[in-house]
Amino acid sequence: MNPTPERLDPGLYIVATPIGNLGDLSPRAASILARADAIAVEDSRVTAKLLNHIGTKRRMIPYHDHSADHVRTDLVARLATESIALVSDAGTPLISDPGYKLVRAARAAGHAIVTIPGPCAAIAALTLAGLPTDRFLFAGFLPVKEKAKADTILELGAVRATLVLYESGPRLHATLTALHTHLGDRDAAVTREISKAYEEAVTGTLSVLIDRYAEGGPRGEIVIVVAPPGEAPPPEPDAVDALLRDALTRLPMAKAAAEVAKATGLDKRDLYARALAMRDE
């Protein structure tokens, strides 16, 4: 006979759940989910399947960071006497998923907060890509609009770190193309369907990956990983001019040259001279 499961202490339990393979739910995560007084969820249909897998039913409370303030206030008030688990549809809550505002409010109110670590697509992709992992910059989804996307890529590309981005199949080709235009032909990886039957990691320079996905976006969930600057040949002169032109719309000449130098690994003085020449052309 099973002993009565120990009741959880009141507080917020941040529980990572599988990103594809249900076998990746940790025993500790399953135990917390089975014992929590309630579970704050993104989509109750998705979490119901997970609970069904571990043979339990719990009260579910829909939660998003953009939920009305009273939803969060109510959840935080409950934490004084109840154990509430926070999950997202897949992976680690708060990572391109809801939760940060709830954790902040729970912390401000002095409640216990416990994390139950587990799957995260960004980290799993890094382990597959074969690119430097000592410094990485996770940036979630890039903006969809072209100008905002370009600005963000330039900003991120200047950082000496491997970039980790979430993306969807239909947008993959456009995003790889934008990364190539603004960062040059860096090494990269497209990881897909991690922990599922059709898991794959395709590696190569951005131009190779652009060709590979020219026929249209692949199905499934995707993480793009891009090597840090300075490890790839610099962009073609035309692309450098395009970068400079874009930077000059936002910055004075010296700053524009410095930004493009950081993103491409090219010499700042050469870029400044090129910017001067472009102005005089």
Q: Where on the chain is the footprint of ligand SAM (CB under 6 A)?
A: 19-20, 88, 90-92, 95-97, 120-122, 166-168, 191-196, 221-223
Smallest distance from the beta carbon of 14 to ligand SAM, in angstroms?
11
Structure-token pair, residue 37: 């007084």
Smallest distance from the beta carbon of 20 to ligand SAM, in angstroms?
4
From the list 13, 7, 19, the residue with the least C-alpha distance to 46 is: 19
Instruction: Output 167 or 259, the one with its CB closest to ligand SAM.
Output: 167
Smallest distance from the beta carbon of 51 to ligand SAM, in angstroms?
18
d(CA 166, CA 220): 12
Instruction: Output 95 or 208, the one with its CB closest to ligand SAM.
Output: 95
Structure-token pair, residue 196: 């599922």
Long-range contact list for 44-52, CB < 8 A, 24+ apart? 46/89, 46/90, 47/17, 47/87, 47/89, 50/17, 50/18, 50/22, 50/25, 50/87
- Phi, psi angle pair for 55, to nearest 5°: 70, 40
Smallest distance from the beta carbon of 249 to ligand SAM, in angstroms?
30
Rg (CA), the chain: 23
Smallest distance from the beta carbon of 21 to ligand SAM, in angstroms?
8
Secondary structure string (H, E, C) spanning 220-251: CEEEEEECCCCCCCCCCHHHHHHHHHHHHHHC
Smallest distance from the beta carbon of 167 to ligand SAM, in angstroms?
6
Structure-token pair, residue 133: 């992992």
Instruction: Output 67 or 195, the one with its CB closest to ligand SAM.
Output: 195
Instruction: Output 43 or 241, the one with its CB closest to ligand SAM.
Output: 43
Smallest distance from the beta carbon of 225 to ligand SAM, in angstroms?
11
What lies within 8 Å, CB to CB, of 65 at 6+ separation is 98, 99, 100, 101, 102
Instruction: Output 196 or 274, the one with its CB closest to ligand SAM.
Output: 196
Instruction: Output 223 or 244, the one with its CB closest to ligand SAM.
Output: 223
Instruction: Output 221 or 259, the one with its CB closest to ligand SAM.
Output: 221
Smallest distance from the beta carbon of 239 to ligand SAM, in angstroms?
26
Judge whether 75 and 103 are in contact, CB under 8 Å.
no
Strand partners, 14: 86, 115
Q: Which residue is nearest to ligand SAM (CB)?
A: 91
From the list 85, 98, 96, the residue with the least C-alpha distance to 42 is: 98
Instruction: Output 17 or 264, the one with its CB closest to ligand SAM.
Output: 17
Judge whether 21 and 196 are in contact, CB under 8 Å.
yes
